[in-house]
Chains A and B, each alone.
Chain A
Amino acid sequence: MPNGPDHIPDRICIDEEDRAIIKTMDDHPEADVRQLLSTNAPVNRSRKEQFLYFMAIGVAHNTKLPIKKRESGGFFLLKDLKPEDNTLIDAVAIWHEGKADVLSDRSKVLEIAEGYAHAGVRFVADSIESQQPGSFLKKIEQNLWSIYTKLNQESNANKSEK
């Protein structure tokens, strides 16, 4: 059931512990990491962009983690989300639930997105720590190619089944 206007959250939250992790990415000694994720100049990623990226990484690993302690101030305001951002969040919720009914519960949709982003933050952090210096971007590219190739193979298999 959709919540009333009073219950709709106005911001996206992250886990309290994630804040410190994301902060290390802002000022990371590896240029690759900063170039991809830093909110500092000259990259100037927004919190919203970071969140959507972490969410996608969580989805890539098919892992959603429940947030243990929500950061009180929030990560960014929902008003910053553009239709194309909301579409990605909605799609994740639909995919997670397997049906579109979830869209009627905005809190649930956001809770799903936050759960995947929470997992994504941890995966990215692990990936940064485990890479050799200078190879972070290469690994990111490699992973993307691997997902892309797999999707293409699945798509071709589906076509041939039909």
Chain B
Amino acid sequence: MRISKIALENYRQFRKLAIDFPQHMSSDLHLFVAHNGTAKTNIINAINWCLYGDEPYLSGESQQLPILNQQVMREIGDTGQADVIVEVYAVVDKDEQIMFERKCTYVWNNKSAPMRHGITSRVLVNDTKGNTQVLIDDEASNYVARSIPLGIREFFFFDGARLDNYFKHATAENINLAVLKISQIDLLNKVSDRLMEVRREIEKEVSKGNPTIEKARKEYEDVQNKLEELKNRVVKEKEQVEIAENKIGTYEDELKSCPNAEELEDNRKALKSRRVTNQEQYDKLMSRKCESLFEYGRIIPLVPALLKTDEIIRTKHVAGEIPPVADVSLLDNILATNKCEICKRSLDSNSREEITKLRQLILMSSTIGKELMQIEGIVTITLDRANRFSRDIEDISGLISNVEKELRQIQTNIDSIDSQLEGQNIERIKNIAEERRKFEKIRDEKNRLIGRFNKEIEDKQDEVKDKEKAWDRETKKEQALKSLVNERDACFRIANLLNKCRDTILIDTRDKIRIKTKEIFFSLLWKKHTFADVLIEDDYRIRVLNDLGYDCLGSLSSGERELLALSFTLALHDVSGFDSSILIDNPVIWLDPEHKHNFSNALVKVSKNKQVILLFHTDEYTPAISAILDSEAATRRRIKLTAQEKEVVLEVL
């Protein structure tokens, strides 16, 4: 199936637009180039909305807006009604024409938000004989589910920007599901389920009229119902997990281009708190330094004076003047008796005056000696203290310098965070991160539940076997019911056979997909010698072995990863017989220049046999890419917004 046309009316930024996809002689390659915010991704959303009624790649901004085109509301006025219509035209097997259509009517009054009034989906199938079959709503949905099942849309709507999630989300279960659906092996499942239903009907017949059998049957059925209930709950929980995973993937994509606002804000908060602490520490240290400068300011200039004092004290020690030894009692006696005690002569006035002067001199010398003795110790201590100036000031200056350095670093980090957050809608980023966390929590809770249910299922399965045996024993006692029992057993055996058959086909299919994936991967690969093999495990885990035989999936470049995902998708299409277009949004956005070049060449090769629609961001559509793709492209168009930026128009390149 290839898309021949998409028609959009009043869908988001698309006022009225038809996009044709004519086939080129040699290839079926279609290119779109657009700036950010010009509704490029909404082309994929429009297709999804038309087919499945949802918009999985909606950006954060678009989520806030109604699906109805804003311009049409302005044109109609405060009160009015308008239809949103998306039509996807496709061709199957070159002859059969199909049109998928979804239409939704919106009504608004007095500037109120538009309310949805009815939604319809239609599928028009024109067969080769010219007959048109019209399928509406449920029939239309069933047709879509049969031809391009929702569960496997990621195998034809290919988002280059979500490649990292591709192998993460493409788990064994949904790949298995995809293989089952697109290769229509699930028909076997349906037959098997029907047989089991028939078996249950027969069992009811068997047990009629015999209370013992009826009791055993009921017990079996109760346990069986509980088992089914548990299985259904697991399926539902898995659906929830998948929804959560998709949501997480979407939020991760949105956050990819944004800074981690929450973490940055937390860091900034922590840094600011550290800055306060460091500033306090700095102030304390500065205050300590100031104290020291004041203290030493009172001592250092006095060092010469202290040294001089110290020198005098030492001299006086040497001269024996310290401690003072003067005894003036002899002179006091001479002055009292007015007679010299040595020569025994009486004192004349001159002698008396001289002795009085001598007495005063001795007393003064003694006083100074005592004073000097008192200050001697303090002088020494003060000089020692002065000697510590250099060490003390250097120590404290070192500490201050460290804190200053740290403060500068903190400020640099805060500035860096500020610049990262500048212009960002932090609230929005935080909300997205919060939403992602919410869904991560849901996913984890659901996974825990699934684990618990699986354990219960194992127990219940044992119980079912026991009950079944008990019931079987009772039934076999009734010879009259032999033929019914045989029928019942036959149903069971056939269902088992069908399941085995299905499993064999699945294994066979998986092996074919592996071979085909490897073949395509190596045919498109630019560094063939680096890799030796591509393996697909029982659980559909893909492994790529390098030339030394080691699994190197984790170390593949983005380009190689994208190529592997594309190869796997093409192999899946090929093996299952499912043929659809491939749409790739941002096909080379995460690739380095060399891989961009190689991957573009690979896409050209693919487009020789399959419709490939590529939606480029302007920045990724470099002259080098343009040089590779332009000559091969059937159509090349630029998506633009009108001057009022409310309506999308296409410009042919």
Check A1–B364 contact: CB distance below 8 A.
yes
Taken together as a complex, chains A and B put the C-alpha atoms of A60 and B378 apart, in Å, by 20
The answer to whether the Cβ of A90 comes within 8 Å of any Cβ in the partner chain is yes
Evaluate contact between A151 and B293: CB separation under 8 angstroms: no
Give the shortest distance, in Å, between A39 (CB) and chain B (any CB): 13
Q: Which of B296, B299, B368 contacts A101 (CB 8 A)?
A: B368
A35 within 8 A of B: yes
Q: A100-B368, A147-B301 are in contact. Are A87 and B294 (CB under 8 A)?
A: no
12 extra A-B contacts, CB within 8 A, seeds A95-B305, A137-B290 = A36-B293, A37-B294, A56-B302, A60-B301, A84-B381, A87-B382, A91-B375, A96-B305, A100-B372, A103-B367, A103-B372, A137-B293
Partner of A52, one of B298, B308, B389: B298
- Interface positions of B (Cβ within 8 A of A): 286-287, 289-290, 293-294, 296-306, 308-309, 312, 316, 360, 364, 367-368, 371-372, 374-375, 378-379, 381-382, 389-390, 393
A84 in complex: contacting residue of B289, B309, B368, B378, CB < 8 Å: B378
Q: Is A88 an interface residue (CB 8 A)?
A: yes
Can you offer 29 A-B residue contacts whose CB atoms are under 8 A? A1-B360, A32-B290, A35-B286, A36-B293, A36-B294, A36-B297, A37-B294, A53-B298, A56-B302, A57-B297, A59-B302, A59-B305, A60-B300, A60-B301, A83-B378, A87-B378, A88-B299, A88-B302, A88-B306, A91-B306, A94-B309, A100-B309, A100-B372, A104-B364, A104-B368, A137-B289, A137-B290, A144-B393, A148-B390
List chain B residues, Cβ under 8 A from A91. Answer: 302, 305-306, 308-309, 375, 379
Instruction: Say yes or no: A86-B290 contact (C-beta < 8 A), given A59-B301, A103-B368, A151-B303.
Output: no
Nearest CB of chain A from residue B137's CB, rounded to whole Å: 80
Question: Within the complex, what minimum Cβ distance (angstroms) separates B283 from chain A?
Answer: 10
Contact A92 B389 (CB under 8 A): no
Asked if residues B382 and A35 are in contact (CB atoms below 8 Å), the reply is no
Contacts of A53 in B (CB 8 A): 294, 297-298
Q: How far is the CA of A55 from the CA of B304 in the complex (A)?
A: 14
A residues in contact (CB < 8 Å) with B:
1-2, 32, 35-37, 45, 49, 52-53, 55-57, 59-60, 83-84, 86-88, 90-92, 94-96, 98-101, 103-104, 137, 140-141, 144-145, 147-148, 151
In the bound complex, how far is the Cα of B374 from the Cα of A90, in angstroms?
Answer: 11
Chain A residue with minimal CB distance to B374?
A83
A-B residue pair count with CB separations less than 8 angstroms: 115
Chain A positions within 8 Å of B301 at CB level: 56-57, 59-60, 147
Whether B312 pairs with A99 at a CB distance below 8 angstroms is yes
B371 neighbours in A (Cβ, 8 Å) = 90, 100, 103-104
Residues of A within 8 A of B300 (CB): 56, 60, 144, 147-148, 151
A86 touches B389 (CB 8 A): no
**Are A144 and B297 interface neighbours, CB within 8 A?**
yes
Bound Cα distance A83, B382 (Å) = 12
Q: Is the CB of A36 within 8 A of B312?
A: no
Q: Which residues of A are found within 8 Å of B305, using beta-carbon distances?
A: 59, 88, 91-92, 94-96
Contact B308 A141 (CB under 8 A): no
Chain B's closest residue to A141 (CB) is B293
Q: How far is the CA of A68 from the CA of B26 in the complex (A)?
A: 111
Shortest distance from the beta carbon of B353 to any chain A beta carbon, whole Å: 15
Enumerate chain B residues within 8 angstroms of A57, measured Cβ to Cβ: 297, 301
Residue ID in chain B nearest A109 by CB atoms: B371
Contacts of B293 in A (CB 8 A): 36, 137, 140-141, 144
Known pairs A104-B368, A148-B300, A151-B304; A83 contacts B375 (CB<8 A): yes
Q: Check if B308 sits within 8 Å of A94, measured CB to CB.
A: yes
A120 and chain B: residue at smallest CB distance: B301
| Chain A residues with CB below 8 A from B360, complex form | 1
CA distance A28 to B368 in the complex (A): 42
Q: Within the complex, which residue of B289, B298, B375, B381 is in contact with A90, where a contact is CB–CB below 8 Å?
A: B375
Q: Which residues of A contact B294 (CB under 8 A)?
A: 36-37, 45, 49, 53
For B381, give the chain A residue with the smallest CB separation. Answer: A84
Once bound together, how far apart are the Cα atoms of A60 and B294, in whole Å?
14
Docked CA distance A101–B368 (Å): 7
Q: Which residues of A contact B287 (CB under 8 A)?
A: 35
A137 CB, min distance to chain B CBs, angstroms: 6
